[in-house]
Amino acid sequence: MQGQRFSYQREQIYRAVCASQEHPTAEMVYQRLKPSMPRLSLGTVYRNLHQMAQEGRLVEMEGPVVRFDAVTKPHTHLRCIRCGGVCDLGAMPYDDGLDRKAEESGCRILRHTLVFTGICAACAAEQGEGPVAI
Amino acid sequence: MQGQRFSYQREQIYRAVCASQEHPTAEMVYQRLKPSMPRLSLGTVYRNLHQMAQEGRLVEMEGPVVRFDAVTKPHTHLRCIRCGGVCDLGAMPYDDGLDRKAEESGCRILRHTLVFTGICAACAAEQGEGPVAI
DNA sequence: TTAGGTGCAAACAATTTGCCGTGTT
DNA sequence: AACACGGCAAATTGTTTGCACCTAA
């Protein structure tokens, strides 16, 4: 694996994400570019978005699978990149102030979720190091 | 639409979510119950999970669609329940302390995401009220 | 020249829905 | 009896992948 090459498609995809104010989905990027790039394929959009996310040029939000939680009180979650699981972390001490703070921008907050990404206690204890792919 | 009825399946699904420590997906709930309820269908699991989430008996995490963001610096997002969009809210002031605080439980935090759910400024301004379905 | 990139279509995976028979009330 | 619910299978939707051709380096 030596450095990647220039790609017109990739640059356009990147520009489309930057230009959009709405945190576009892959489909949104595709629809936006299609008029000017009729032969663009959705697979290319996905491939490039993920590639750029891996480089840190973009950020990828949310997981592909919906999970359910019987704890309806506010608390935080840790998504473990080793085992893929999701576990609780208890409430953060400043949880309560977050909503009001956010509402200063004119929106109405109904609830919030704080999701950490990292290595859960179980996986961390299992063995110390190893390549930590973000 | 008048009140819902008792359903053995729904109760078992609820109990399965409560009993699990891993924030199960619909599929996980299904697999867990299948041995004792061989005729249970995945569709029923989805239907009941969503129904209970609407009542507030369960909480549904994460969306079904991955979104991308060109802003790689830490900031928070608001998911609007009216328009379905996602917009930025800027960084919360205590952002920086969150990771270390969370690590007290023995895990290793690589990054975090704070996602608010509510009504975005644009939709809130559009008109005051209306039924706010959570 | 050559490895990375593309378009296309097929494969997968996650979730939703229509239909119709059952069970709760 | 009325209508919510469940099972089943088909349909949607979101995402990934294999392959043959193309192109930047």
Tens-place pLDDT, residues A103-120: 888 888 887 778 888 888
CB contact under 8 A, A22 and B125: no
Domain covering A1-70 in this structure, CATH number: 1.10.10.10
A90: left (phi over 0), alpha (psi -120 to 50) or beta: left
More confident residue, A84 or B106: B106
Please state the separation of Cα B20 from the chain's center in Å: 16
CA of A40 to C1' of C6 (A): 8
CA of B36 to C1' of D10 (A): 26
CA of A35 to C1' of D6 (A): 45
Domain boundaries, chain B: 1-70, 73-134
Q: Are strands B76-80 and B108-119 parallel, antiparallel or unpaired?
A: parallel
Residues sharing a CB contact under 8 Å with residue B7, sequence separation 6 or more, in sequence order: B48
What is the helix (H) or strand (E) element at residue B123, kind and residue range? helix B121-126
pLDDT for residue A127: 58
CB contact under 8 A, B92 and A102: yes
Length of chain B: 134
Q: Is the CB of B9 under 7 A from strand D?
A: yes
CA of A132 to C1' of C4 (A): 25
B90 close contact with A: CB closer than 8 A: yes
pLDDT for residue B128: 53
Query: Is domain A73-134 in CATH 3.30.390.50, yes or no?
Result: no
Reference A68, options B117, B13, B10, B49; nearest CA is B49
pLDDT for residue B45: 94
Axis-axis angle for helices B8-19, B42-55 (nearest 10):
80
Backbone angles phi, psi at A102, to 5 degrees: -65, -30
Q: Which amino acid is at A76?
A: T
- Return d(Cα A31, Cα A38) in angstroms, integer: 10
pLDDT for residue B88: 79
A15 band by pLDDT with thresholds 50, 70 and 90? very high
Residue whose tokens read 């909503």: A99
- Return d(Cα B19, Cα A15) in angstroms, integer: 46
Residue in A18, A94, A110 nearest the CB of B70: A18
pTM: 0.76
Six-digit token pair at B4?
Answer: 């819902």
More confident residue, B114 or A133: B114
pLDDT for residue A36: 95
pLDDT for residue A65: 62
What is the helix (H) or strand (E) element at residue B11, kind and residue range? helix B8-19
pLDDT for residue A51: 92
Q: Are A95 and A74 in contact (CB under 8 A)?
A: yes
Residue lying closest to nucleotide C25, CA to C1': B5
Please state the separation of Cα B105 from the chain's center in Å: 23
pLDDT for residue A1: 46
Reference B29, options B16, B48, B40, B18; nearest CA is B16
CB contact under 8 A, A121 and B98: no
Digit-by-digit pLDDT tens for chain B (134 residues) are: 457 899 999 999 999 999 987 788 899 999 999 999 999 999 999 999 999 988 888 888 766 667 777 676 767 888 887 777 778 787 776 666 778 888 888 888 887 778 888 888 888 887 554 444 33
Q: Please report the residues numbered 12 through 51 in chain A whose beta carbons come closer than 8 angstroms to any beta carbon of chain B.
A: 14, 17-18, 21-27, 29, 49
CB contact under 8 A, A121 and B99: no
Name A residues 73-132 whose Cβ lies under 7 Å from strand C: none
